[in-house]
Structure 1
Amino acid sequence: MSVISDVSIPPARTAAVSRRFYITAWRWHFYAGLYVAPFMLMLAVTGLIMLWTATISGRDGEKIYSVAPQASLAPVSAQAEAAFGEVAGQIVQYIAPRTAEQASLFRVNQGDASYMVAVDPYTAKALGHWDRRNGLYDLADSIHGTLLIGDVGDRLIEIAAGFGIVLVITGLYLWWPRDNSGFSSVLVPQLSAKGRQLWKSLHLSIGFYVSLILVVFLLSGLTWAGVWGEKFTQAWSTFPAEKWDNVPLSDLTHASLNYNGVKEVPWALEQTQMPASGSQAGISGTPEGQPVTLDAIITLARALGFDQRFQLGFPASETGVWSISRDTMSNDSANPLHDRIVHIDQYTGRILADVGFADYGLAGKAMAAGIAFHEGDMGLWNLVLVTAFCLAIIFLSVSGFVMWFKRRPRGATRLVAPTVSEPGPLWKTGAIVMLGVSLLFPLSGAVLVAVLLLDLLVIRHIAPLKKTLS
C-alpha cells in the first residue's frame, strides 16, 4: 500500500506568508510615495494651471482679443505688415485663427526677445502684443517639465515618474480584496468609516479608478524626458528623414522649431532632420514661374486642406523652408489623426516633405494620441476627465500624507515605515516587478540600485540613521 504524504502548506503559514508579502508591498509603496507624492502634487497643480489657462486665454494667447467677423479677410501679407508696425523685428511665425472671432497671431523676434502680435484678420489692424512664452501657462509648463532648474529638474521628475509605476503596481496589490471581503468594499468608498479608515477607503477607491489613466500620463510624460524619452524610446522610433527621396537635408532637426524648451513639434519628428531649400527637388507646390510670397504660401496651405488654426514657420536662413503645420502638440487640433507638417522650398515653392499621422511609427502614433489626451485637447469630455484626474492625484498625494500622519505615534522621531518582522521566503513576483522597473526605466532603476546599496553598506550599520528611516 502506498502512502501519499501531505505536502500542502498549513493555512496558518500561508496566511503569514501572504501577510508578509502585503507588508512588503506596503513598505515599497510607502517609501516610493515619500519621493513621488510631492512631484505628483506639483505635476497635478501645474497641469491644471496649463489646462485651464489654455482653455480660457489660449496657449499662445489667441483668445485674448476677439474680432468682429466681416465679409472678407485681408491678405496675410497686409496682416504681417501691421504686426511689423506694432513690433519691428523679424517675423518668424504666423498662426491662423481657429474661429471667425479670433485674431491672427504673428511671432516677431527682436534679438533674443520674442513677442506675439495679435492682428485683426479682416482689417489688418494690430490689436496688441505681449512677450511670448512669458505668461502663467509658460511658468507652469517650465515648473511641470524642469522645476525651473533645467536638466537636473527633468531628471528628478523622470525618476519620480518611474517610481510612479511602482506606486501603481503596489497600490493595486494593496487594493486587492482580502479576508473574504468583496470588490464592492474597495470599488465603493466606505463613507461611514471614521478617521484614518475613511481616508484609507477613499485613497484605495480613488486610486483604483485613476490607476490606468495615471499610467498613461506617466508614460506619455516620460517619453519627453531627457533619458528614457530622448535617448531610449525617441531615438529608435523617430520618423526617418530618408523617406524624403532626393531632398537636401539641413543640419538642423525639427526640434529647432521648438522655442525656449517648450515642446511644439510632434514627438516623432523632433529628432528628424529638416529639409533644405535651394534645389529643384520636391513636387509641385506654388504656381511655377510666380514669386514665392507669403500670400502664395497661404493659398497653397488652404489648397492642401489646412483650414481653421494652423501654423506657418518662416524660413530662418538661406537654406530654411516654409513650414506649414497643424498638430495636437501645439493645440492646433483636437484630433491627432489630423497631425500634418508640410515643408516648402523658399525659392521654388516646391513641396519638399509632407508628413502626416499615418507616416509615424507605432510609438509616434501612440505619442500623438497620448499627448493630445494628456493635454485635454480632445474635446469637452477630455477637459473634464483631465480636470477630475488632476484633482484625484492631488487628493491621493494629500491623503497619503494624512494617513501616515494619523498612523504615526505622537512624538515619534522616525518615519514609522511598515515593518516586515516575520521571516519568510523571497517575494519572487515583487522582485520581478522591481527588476522590470529597473530595466524599463533605467534612471529610476539606477536610483533604486543606489538606494539598496546605500541601505546595505551604510544605513543599516548606523543605528540612529536606521532608526530615523525605519
Structure 2
Amino acid sequence: MNNNTFNPFRRLHFYAAWFITPLLITLTLSGTGFLFYPEVESYLYEKEFFGMSETKETQSMDEAIKEISAKYEGYSIGKISMMEEPYNSRVTISNENGDSRTIFLDDSNQIVSSQDPSNTYSYFMRNFHSSLLTESTFMRYLVELTACWTVFLIISGIYMTFKKKLLANKNKSKSLKFQKAHAILGIALAIPLMVIVITGIPWSVFMGSQIAKFGQEHPEIGRTELRYTPPQSDVDEIPWATRSLNQPASDDKTEANNNLNNPGQQSLESVIAKAQDEKISRPFSIVYPADEKGVFTVSKGSNTGVPGLDVSPYEETTAYFDQYSGNVIAKINFEDYGIIGKWFTWGIPLHEGHLFGMPNKILNLVVCIAFLGAITMGFLSWMRRMKQGESKTPRRVNKQWSLVAILALLILGIIMPLFGISILIIFVIETIVYYSSKNKRISSELSK
C-alpha cells in the first residue's frame, strides 16, 4: 500500500505558506487594526460622537429630520440610530448618486456635525481587511482562498509535528529550535485561529453566499430566509440574521411621494414610542419604509459596525411596524433564528472582537500577535536550513499520493470549494509531473 502522505503535505504546507504569507500578514495586521475601531473612533470623532450643539433649544426627532431634509437637499433619510448615552444619535442620509452622510444629533435633537462614512477609520480598516482597499470581487475571492489554505496549514502543520515527533526531538540545533517554536505556536493557536477563520466566513464571497442560500432553502436550519448575497463588514445596522428577510407590507395602499411626506404615515416620535412599548430599548435603529407598501423597521443588532450600537446576541430583535397605523406586524428575536442565523449572530462579533467586551479584543489580539510569531519562526527555520546547506525546498518523492492524503484533501475541498478547486489544479500538475518523471526514468533505464 502506498504510504506517501507526509511528502505531499510537507510540500503543500511549504509552498502554500510562501504563497499566502504576504496576504496572511496583511489580513492579520488589518484585522488587528479593526479590533479597536470603537476606541479609535471615539477618540478621533469625539465631537461627532459626544459633542453638543451650540443650539440649546430642544426639538423633536421629527423636527430634526425636517431640518436635515431642508439642509441636505437631494438627500433622502435612510435610517435613524437612537443611541444610548453618552453617544449622540445618528441619522443616515443618501442621494441618487450613492453618496451618503451621517448626521449626529445631541440629546436635544440638534445637529452637532456630519460625517462622510466612507472616510472613517472603521470603513478604511474594514475595506483594507476584506479586499485590500480595492473593493474588487477578485481580491475578495483571493482573501477567501487564503482563509481556506490557512485551515490546511493548521491541519497539515499539526499532522507533520506529530509525524516527525518534533516535540520529543532532543536535537538542540538552532534550526530545529525555530522549527519547534513554529510547531508549538501552531498547535497552541490551532483552535482559536480556526475559530477566527470560521467566524469570518459570513463575509466570504463564495462560501458565505452558499451558506446563506442553503439557510434560505432549508428553513428548519436557517429560518431567516437568507438571501444568496453574503453579509459584508460595511452594511446597515439591521441584524445580519434578519437583514434579508422579505419584509411584511403595510395594509394601506396610499401612494407616496417619498418616505417623509407619505399621507397618513406615522410620525417618527410615534414609532419610537411604539418601539418602547414593545420593550425595545436604546440603542436601536429605525429604517424608513422603502415605498408606500413598506414598513418601519426597528432593530437592535450585535454586528452593526457602529460604536455604541452593538448589543448582546441575545438582545437582538427586529420589529416591523405598519407605517400608517403604527401596529406591530411582526417581531423576530434571537430565539427565532435557526442554527445558521445564531451562528452568524455570535460569530461576527466574536470575529470583530466585541462579543464579550475588552477580553474578546485582547484574546483576538494575542492570537494575531502569536500568529505573526508563528509565521516568523517558520521563516527563520527555513533560513537556518539554507545556511546549513540543506535543501531550500522540500524534495519531491516521486510516488503516487497515498489514499489518506487524497481523502483528507477531498474532504477539505468539499467543505471549502475554492480550496478544492485549487487542490484539483495542483493534483493535475502533480500527476503530470509524476508520469513525466516516471517515463523519463523508464526511458533512461531502457537506453542503458
Mapping of residues 108-257 of structure 1, within 5 Å: 108-111=93-96, 112-121=98-107, 123-147=108-132, 148-176=134-162, 179=165, 195-230=174-209, 232-238=210-216
Q: Distance in 1 between matches of 2:244 and 2:144?
A: 20
Instruction: Spell out, residue by residue over 1:374-406, the C-alpha distance to the aligned partner (whole angstroms, 9 max, x if none).
Output: 111121111111111222223333433333333
Q: Distance in 2 between matches of 1:437 and 1:222?
A: 15
Alignment correspondent of 1:273: 246
Secondary structure of the residue aligned to 1:91 is strand
Q: Which amino acid in the other structure matches residue 440 of structure 1? A: I
Q: Distance in 2 between matches of 1:25 and 1:52?
A: 37
Q: Closer, same or farther in 2 for the Cα pair 1:438/1:253, shift >3 Å? A: closer
Q: Distance in 1 between matches of 2:72 and 2:59?
A: 19
Q: Closer, same or farther in 2 for the Cα pair 1:394/1:320, shift >3 Å? A: farther
Q: Distance in 1 between matches of 2:77 and 2:43?
A: 19
Residue among 336, 341, 344 paired with 2:318: 341
Alignment correspondent of 1:330: 304
Higher relative contact order (CA 8 A, sep 6+): 2
Q: Which amino acid in the other structure matches residue 41 of structure 2? A: S
Q: Closer, same or farther in 2 for the Cα pair 1:271/1:216, shift >3 Å? A: same
Q: Closer, same or farther in 2 for the Cα pair 1:312/1:460, shift >3 Å? A: farther
Q: Closer, same or farther in 2 for the Cα pair 1:131/1:438, shift >3 Å? A: same
Residue among 385, 392, 397 paired with 2:370: 392
Instruction: Spell out, residue by residue over 1:398-441, the C-alpha distance to the aligned partner (whole angstroms, 9 max, x if none).
Output: 433333333335999xx932225486x85433322101011111
Mapping of residues 408-447 of structure 1, within 5 Å: 408=386, 416-421=392-397, 426-447=401-422
Secondary structure of the residue aligned to 1:65 is helix
Q: Which amino acid in the other structure matches residue 392 of structure 2? A: V
Maintained 8 Å contact 1:312/1:322: yes
Q: CA deviation at 1:175?
A: 3.0
Instruction: Spell out, residue by residue over 1:95-120, the C-alpha distance to the aligned partner (whole angstroms, 9 max, x if none).
Output: 1223x222111112233210011111
User: Quick check: 1:401 aligned with 2:376?
Assistant: no
Q: CA deviation at 1:48?
A: 1.5
Q: Distance in 2 between matches of 1:59 and 1:312?
A: 26
In the superposition, the TM-score normalised over structure 2's length comes to 0.80
Q: Closer, same or farther in 2 for the Cα pair 1:135/1:411, shift >3 Å? A: farther
Q: Closer, same or farther in 2 for the Cα pair 1:176/1:217, shift >3 Å? A: same
Alignment correspondent of 1:105: 90
Secondary structure of the residue aligned to 1:300 is helix
Secondary structure of the residue aligned to 1:107 is strand
User: Quick check: 1:90 aligned with 2:76?
Assistant: yes
Maintained 8 Å contact 1:264/1:330: yes
Q: Distance in 1 between matches of 2:229 and 2:274?
A: 24
User: Quick check: 1:50 aligned with 2:23?
Assistant: no
User: Quick check: 1:361 aligned with 2:338?
Assistant: yes
Q: Closer, same or farther in 2 for the Cα pair 1:181/1:126, shift >3 Å? A: closer
Q: Distance in 1 between matches of 2:427 and 2:109?
A: 64
Structure 1 residue runs without a partner (length 5+)? 1-8, 10-15, 243-251, 281-289, 463-470
Q: Which amino acid in the other structure matches residue 169 of structure 1? A: I
Q: Which amino acid in the other structure matches residue 435 of structure 1? A: L
Alignment correspondent of 2:287: 313
Q: Which amino acid in the other structure matches residue 206 of structure 1? A: L
Q: CA deviation at 1:166?
A: 0.9
Q: Distance in 1 between matches of 2:176 and 2:8?
A: 20
Q: CA deviation at 1:131?
A: 0.5
Alignment root-mean-square deviation, CA? 3.9
Q: Closer, same or farther in 2 for the Cα pair 1:357/1:263, shift >3 Å? A: same
Maintained 8 Å contact 2:203/2:232: no
Q: Distance in 1 between matches of 2:89 and 2:43?
A: 14
Q: CA deviation at 1:153?
A: 1.3
Identical-pair percentage? 21
Q: Closer, same or farther in 2 for the Cα pair 1:166/1:75, shift >3 Å? A: same
Q: Distance in 1 between matches of 2:398 and 2:228?
A: 54
Alignment correspondent of 1:78: 63
Q: Closer, same or farther in 2 for the Cα pair 1:460/1:161, shift >3 Å? A: farther
Q: Distance in 2 between matches of 1:263 and 1:193?
A: 55
Q: Distance in 1 between matches of 2:393 and 2:360?
A: 38
Q: CA deviation at 1:85?
A: 5.7
Instruction: Spell out, residue by residue over 1:289-328, the C-alpha distance to the aligned partner (whole angstroms, 9 max, x if none).
Output: x961100011112222222321111123222221111111
